Amino acid sequence: MSPVDPARIRIVVVDDHPVFRIGMSSLLEETGFDVVGQAASEDEAVTVVDATAPDVVLMDLDLGGGSGANATREILRRRPATGVLVITMFGDDEALFGALRAGARGYLVKGAEPEEIESAVRAIAGGAVMLGPQVAGRAVAFLTGARSARGGVFAELTERERDVLELVARGHDNATIARMLVLTTKTVRNYVYAIFTKLDVTDRAALVVKARKAGIGVTRPEGNTDQ
């Protein structure tokens, strides 16, 4: 990756909440960065990045009806040198690992100090990886194999992701899964996006096929019930 002039780091801010997006853009401009674009959705993020060729993209993970992880993956497919810094409300393992698997090089939880954001942007523009203190320990544990003891098929999934995958593979929609697992529909959608990323599929149909080939979601023998 070619060095980026720290005084001319070009940034696109992606967030579906206009107050946060505008505020973050203003903060970055005041810090001395060049905010060259903003986007509020998955598709818009890809379009704006294509048009502006930024050095760094600040990416939220929940983009209303879209996924920041999917946007990250598509942006990097088109422009591999782009650095993606996730700034999100989600500090859980599923969100973190989904973002890293999509290719993000940084991850901060919203509420990070301005100095922390500035340091992360500069590090990522220079080709480094930067994880916030809230998630760094879990990322290290994951990358060093601390989670490998889980084993079995799709060992990269968390237990809750496996629960969701089982129900998706049985043909349930997100609203039904949410009722069955006592979750919100939005939370289920985030789990599904994380599973897409971890299992390298692009849609629900492909996920169901992959799961059933692995024996997940197949019809149980007589005598068992679908709980």
Q: What is the Cα–Cα distance from 56 to 38, expressed in whole angstroms?
A: 12
* Site of tokens 């039904």: 176
Place of tokens 């650095």: 83
- Cα 190 to chain center, whole Å? 9
Distance CA 116, CA 120 (A): 6
Asked if 60 and 87 touch (Cβ cutoff 8 Å), the reply is yes
pLDDT for 52? 97
CA separation for the pair 175, 67 (Å, rounded):
18
* Per-residue pLDDT at 149: 43
Token output for 161: 């992701």
Q: What local confidence, expressed as pLDDT, does residue 110 receive?
A: 84
pLDDT at 178: 86
In 3-state terms, what secondary structure has residue 38?
strand
How confident is the model at residue 155, as a pLDDT?
A: 79
pTM of the prediction?
0.62
User: What CA–CA distances, in Å, run from 12 to 38, 60, 213?
Assistant: 5, 11, 40
pLDDT of residue 92: 62
Give whole-number Cα distances, 201 to 138, 157, 197, 227, in Å. 24, 14, 7, 26
Find residue 38's DSSP bridge partners: 13
| 106-109 vs 130-131, strand pairing mode | parallel
Q: For each of the chain's 227 residues, which pLDDT tens digit applies?
A: 455 655 689 999 999 999 999 999 999 999 999 999 999 999 999 999 999 999 999 999 888 878 898 999 999 999 999 999 999 886 566 677 778 888 999 998 888 889 999 999 999 999 998 887 766 766 666 555 544 444 457 878 887 888 899 899 989 999 988 888 878 888 899 989 989 998 989 999 999 999 998 888 765 443 443 43
pLDDT at 7: 61
E strand residue ranges, the chain: 10-14, 34-39, 56-59, 62-63, 66-67, 83-88, 106-109, 130-131
Q: Cα–Cα distance between 141 and 28 in angstroms, integer?
A: 31
